[in-house]
Amino acid sequence: MTSTTTAIINLDLAGPTISRHVYGQFAEHLGRCIYGGFWVGEDSEVPNVRGIRSDVVEALRAIRIPNLRWPGGCFADDYHWRDGIGPRDQRPRMVNSHWGDVVEDNSFGTHEFMDLCEMLDADPYISGNVGSGTVQEMSDWVEYLTRGDDSPMAALRRENGRDEPWKVPFWGLGNEAWGCGGHMRIETFAALARQYATYARNHGDNKLYRVAAGADTADYHWTETLMRSFGDLAADADGAAHPYQALSLHYYTMSGDWADKGAATSFTEDEWYLTLSRAHRMRELLSRHSTVMDRYDPHRKVGLVVDEWGTWWNVEEGTNPGFLYQQNTLRDALVASTHFDAFHAHADRVVMTNIAQTVNVLQAMILTDPDTNALVLTPTYHVFAMNTGHQDAQALDVHLRDVPTVASDGRELPLVSASASTKDDGALISLSNLSTDEDRTVQLDLRGRSVAGFTAQILSAGELSAHNTPEAPAAVAPADHAGVRATERGLEVDLPAHSYVTVSLRLV
């Protein structure tokens, strides 16, 4: 017998807007994310435009990625931007000490990254170097990118082939200052963040949204100290007068610990639930960090940016341990879907997130085969694709009843996760069944507006560890879902075990 869960949704009570930037991406100089992922060089046999892989760009445009964070990550606080401009054969080399201890030739730098963003139609989110850089270095980089007159940095940009300035909306003030970004105490970093932000200036009509490096997981003291540094936000109508406008949060999901994170494709049922329980913890982290922020910012002028999140497994056998290459299964897809439900529920505070990372690293959208150059879309990619309708839509509360739970990692994990949004004359409902073996029926009790039509998609597979490879690229891929029926109160949705379903509504 299939069990039933009820989801009550008031379609006429729209809440805060879910920023499209919640679906942001992250590309670090790490393993094969940049080199072999995005960048193959202009002389490569792989189809490319000015050295950037065409198939990767096409795949990412299809899911409408809104922004791309670069150059790190830990790499950002070792990166000196002047090394990545000018003729490529004259750029100095450096050691990428964080990721594989390999030599970086800086062939992919500022101009290449901005070219990539233009191809993707994505906003750049640049992480500035606070850890080993200088205030002037960061100030000069902003000027180089965004100033349009004959200033020294604008003139240098023109010498390197770019006449008009770029638009750069998002700017990161360091990365993980509590760790690889300098092992700083929060009191030290809070003062530095104000200083660096002051000199990361607005030029012309380019207005920077500055993001200070925020907390690791549950470090609420870090968040509180940064918030205290804002002073009296009530005296500032929109928070824009403060040197920075947001702070970040990093949280990774794994089934083990940092010494042994767990395997990507070989796991037990207990590890399945442990992973999803830890993914569900994102709701707690967002609630508690938001509560700290509310104490200083009750009107929520300051944004929370989760600019690193996702699964982190032991690397695939035979690969460089510093390259963080891992497979991506149905389990990863459900980690992503439950994260998005959490982000949607906190749309009034969470202004942007960036999954780690876009290509060939950690919970990637895309894997490229180094031998055949084949491109594989991961199960996580398909969650992003199925969720594009939530971008810039207004969040709807979903009230769930009769949700089963399982005890894991010291907490009760709800086995149904959901979120919904509305835009114009439509709505999108996302439903996840986290059970390994129990099918469910979800009764959608839809109120406030009438449903004129609906379509649905499902993402699932026979095996929990199912994943896509060059030989089986569609082992986990979305399909039309016929298991949706109209009822007097709304819709009835079949939600098979370990599946993700989206239902698109046409409203009147």
Quote helix, strand, coil % in the chain, to nearest 5.
25, 30, 45
User: For the chain, what is the radius of gyration of the CA atoms?
Assistant: 23
Report the alpha-carbon distance of residue 242 to residue 239 in Å, rounded: 6
Amino acid identity, position 439: D
Three-state secondary-structure class, residue 119: helix
Structure tokens at 313: 């497994």
Other beta carbons within 10 Å of 479: 11
Report the alpha-carbon distance of residue 10 to residue 445 in Å, rounded: 8
Other beta carbons within 10 Å of 303: 21
Beta strands 67-70; 24-26: pairing state: parallel
Asked if 340 and 347 count as a contact pair (C-beta separation under 8 A), the reply is no
Which one from 137, 308, 317, 492 is the annotated catalytic residue?
A: 308
164 is an active site residue: no
Residue 405 β-bridge partners = 414
Which one from 104, 143, 176, 271 is the annotated catalytic residue?
A: 176
Report the alpha-carbon distance of residue 507 to residue 490 in Å, rounded: 12
**Residue 130 CA to chain centroid, in angstroms?**
22
Residue 356 β-bridge partners = 26
**Residue 78 CA to chain centroid, in angstroms?**
22
Structure tokens at 402: 């009769």
438 is an active site residue: no
Cite the active site residues.
176, 308
